[in-house]
Amino acid sequence: MMNIPCPFCGARNESEFAYGGPVKPDRPDPNAVPDEDWTAYLTRVPNPLGPVQERWHHVRGCGTWLTIWRDTRTHDIVEGPSDAG
Amino acid sequence: MAYDVEILRLSPFALFDLKGAAEALEDWAPELSGLPGDPNALARNGEVLHCHVGPQHWLLRAPLEEENRLDAALRPNTAPPEISLVRVSDTLTFFRLTGPDAGEVLSIGCPLDLLPGVFGDTAVSFTELFGLKALVLRCAGGFEIAVEQSYGDMIADYLARATV
Ligand SMILES: [Zn+2]
């Protein structure tokens, strides 16, 4: 079980949250990028071995949406890479 | 294992769901002055509770007899667009668990740390109870919980089974 930090409630049990999926890169303009990049945006889900940025919804709590970095190897909630947006 | 706890299903309360900035809500209805600012904190004024349950989100609970008076004071239908006041009295069913084992029983289905140093007299929070979203707060001698009204019978059954 993860203890997920909610900005309103503080650390709460994972079971109070709903997973909102990984944060995707910004949507490119399909007319301005090659088809390959557009297809990649549509179909590739970020799934790194290591830190991944994710959205979680405190659905059984205060209702806040939040963003964390989770290390897929350990489930630890970690600092994001320094060059991350 | 038998628990030393008394479980009581409470009769309905007057409930209002309040959203918006605290100042805007208090300006609109002086009735709402003193909304608690700390997250997951509640303010008691006699039998009236103001619960801070989310960002810019409060729940007002009062005895059911107060419902019409509150409706007139809060004027939900004419509120400005930046705030929202909705009468939700029908949506939640409350239970009261009192006795030495009230916390033990609650902790069967609730992941919150309910120890007094963490969850004190002025604490209130939506959390999880037997997999459902539930409101939890303290009362004299134990806790009060609320779940969506349609789950009332189910939670009554769960609590009864958990405490056999
Ligand atoms: Zn929260």
Q: Please, what are the domains in chain B?
A: 6-10+91-162 (3.30.1360.120), 13-87 (3.30.70.1400)
B53, B57, B128 ranked by CB distance to A16: nearest: B128
Degrees, nearest 5: CA angle B6-B8-B9: 160
Among B88, B107, B83, smallest CA distance to B97 is for: B107
Residues on chain B touching A9 (C-beta within 8 angstroms): 39-40, 125
Pick the CATH number of A3-79 from 3.30.2270.10, 3.30.60.50, 3.30.360.10, 1.10.10.10: 3.30.2270.10
Burial pattern B20-53, b for ≥16 Cβ within 10 A else e, equals bebeebbebbebbeebbeebbbbbeeeebbbbbb
Between chains, do A13 and B111 touch, taking CB under 8 Å as contact?
yes
Rg (CA), chain A: 15
Give me the total of CB pairs closer than 8 Å, taking one residue from chain A and one from chain B: 46
A10, A13, A60 ranked by CB distance to B126: nearest: A60
pLDDT-above-90 percentage for chain B: 98
The whole-number pLDDT of residue A85 equals 56
Do residues B60 and B76 make contact, with C-beta atoms less than 8 angstroms apart?
A: no
The whole-number pLDDT of residue A80 equals 86
The predicted model gives B90-103 an average pLDDT of: 97
A32-57 pLDDT, tens digit per residue, is 999 999 999 999 999 999 999 999 99
Rg (CA), chain B: 16
Between chains, do B128 and A8 touch, taking CB under 8 Å as contact?
no
pTM of the predicted model as reported, rounded to 2 decimal places? 0.93
Distance (Å) of CA B160 to CA B82, B101, B112? 43, 14, 20
Beta bridge partners of A55: A67
C-alpha to C-alpha distance for B23 and B75, rounded to whole angstroms: 16
Between chains, do A16 and B40 touch, taking CB under 8 Å as contact?
no
The whole-number pLDDT of residue B100 equals 97
Q: How far is CA B99 from the centre of its chain?
A: 19
Q: In Å, how far is A21's CA from the nearest CA of chain B?
A: 21
- Residue A62, pLDDT above cutoff 80: yes
Q: CB count, 10 Å around CB of A84?
A: 10
Q: ipTM of this predicted complex?
A: 0.93
Write the CB contacts of B32 (distance below 8 Å, at least 6 apart in sequence): B18, B25, B26, B50, B58, B60, B74
B50-80 pLDDT, tens digit per residue, is 999 999 999 999 999 999 999 999 999 999 9
Residues on chain A touching B132 (C-beta within 8 angstroms): 60
Residues on chain B touching A60 (C-beta within 8 angstroms): 126-128, 132-134
At residue B150 the predicted structure's pLDDT band, cuts being 50, 70 and 90, is very high
Burial pattern A31-48, b for ≥16 Cβ within 10 A else e, equals eeeeeeebeeeeeeeeee
Residue in chain A closest to B148 (alpha carbons) equals: A60
